[in-house]
């Protein structure tokens, strides 16, 4: 494994066993993340983005979930082999996660200071006084004014944007080498979204941590990520460097997503593209390409065989058809 790779996920599969049947949420995805790199994972709701990283972090209840993979290597250590206590030691200290809704992620009956102080005392062995000083530094770092006076406030006394900043401060408390952000700006208005994204970019440059940013908002990823993974129905359908993906998407799904977004440099007469139909039922996945039934380029082979994810230069694409010519590759 490349020495600069801090996270190497190979053939990750996650299923949920329900009364209706087995939900195939993640279907054999593989990727690597390098030191200091920002990776965006995009796709519509229900495509497996969040489940994939919750699987990596071992945060899913087993059962009903079942997580399988050839390996999930973090700094060369297979996280599937670790027990509960060993995983708890990694979470927060080496890998931190920011969740979508800070109001449900923060404990409403504990002060903000207590919740940031806890990992500092647990993982770094700081005294309460040292931890309080560090808490104030962290809250100042993430842009909360008069931080010392806010440590004894409760989550309901913070605005939505401030709660998310407090979550980021909590995540950064032990200076992790990897920060995972699971749609952290979805519940915030556009102005606060931009502030949070700028903050994470600045902190990433200061600390040098790697970043996985999960979102359905392609606009955010464009200015944040170095590389982008596009997921659909639990599969990776395309992976490329961010500039390459936006300039020349090679999968019909990626192309359709980008054409559905309004552009500042686009013509006012140009209609936005819509993707007809619905994603497939994850309990009864189709035999062929999962996007085949909605694809404007679908051919006969697309309905009988799911294309493998093929390396093509600096990108990986899972499609039988060349999007430029409309013919088989």
Q: What is the pLDDT of residue 231?
A: 93
Q: What is the pLDDT of residue 227?
A: 93
Are the CB atoms for 211 and 179 separated by under 8 Å?
Answer: yes
Residue 247 burial class via C-beta count within 10 angstroms: exposed 0-12, middle 13-18, buried 19 and up: exposed
Q: Look up residue 109 and give its two tokens.
A: 């009956």
| List of residues 6+ apart from 271 with CB closer than 8 A | none
Kindly report, residue by residue over 221-267, the tens digit of the pLDDT.
Answer: 888 889 999 999 999 999 999 999 988 888 999 988 887 766 666 56
Q: Look up residue 255 and give its two tokens.
A: 């192309």
Average pLDDT rounded to a whole number, residues 184-209: 77
Look up the pTM and report it.
0.86
Are the CB atoms for 134 and 142 separated by under 8 Å?
Answer: no
């Amino acid at each position: 494994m490349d020495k600069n790779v801090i996270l190497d996920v190979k053939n990750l599969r996650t299923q949920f066993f329900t009364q209706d049947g087995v939900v195939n949420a993640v279907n054999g995805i593989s990727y690597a993340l390098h030191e200091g790199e920002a990776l965006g994972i995009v796709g519509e709701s229900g495509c497996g983005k969040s489940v994939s990283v919750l699987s990596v972090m071992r945060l899913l209840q087993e059962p009903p979930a079942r997580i399988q993979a050839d390996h999930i290597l973090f700094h060369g250590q297979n996280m599937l082999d670790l027990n509960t206590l060993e995983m708890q030691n990694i979470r927060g200290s080496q890998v931190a996660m920011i969740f979508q809704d800070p109001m449900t992620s923060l404990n409403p009956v504990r002060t903000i200071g207590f919740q940031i102080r806890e990992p500092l005392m647990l993982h770094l062995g700081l005294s309460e006084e040292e931890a309080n000083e560090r808490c104030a530094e962290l809250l100042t770092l993430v842009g909360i004014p008069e931080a010392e006076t806010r440590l004894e406030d409760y989550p309901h006394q913070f605005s939505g944007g401030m709660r998310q900043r407090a979550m980021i401060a909590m995540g950064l408390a032990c200076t992790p080498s990897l920060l995972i952000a699971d749609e952290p700006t979805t519940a915030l208005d556009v102005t606060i979204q931009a502030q949070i994204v700028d903050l994470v970019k600045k902190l990433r440059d200061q600390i040098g941590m790697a970043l996985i940013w999960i979102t359905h908002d392609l606009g955010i990823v464009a200015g944040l990520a170095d590389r982008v993974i596009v997921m659909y129905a639990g599969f990776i359908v395309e992976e490329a460097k961010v500039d390459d993906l936006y300039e020349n998407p090679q999968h019909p799904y990626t192309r359709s997503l980008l054409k559905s977004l309004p552009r500042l440099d686009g013509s006012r007469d140009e209609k936005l593209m819509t993707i007809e139909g619905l994603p497939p039922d994850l309990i009864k996945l189709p035999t062929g390409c999962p996007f085949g039934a909605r694809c404007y380029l679908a051919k006969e082979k697309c309905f009988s065989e799911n294309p493998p994810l093929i390396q093509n230069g600096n990108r990986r694409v899972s499609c039988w058809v060349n999007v430029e010519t409309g013919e088989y590759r």
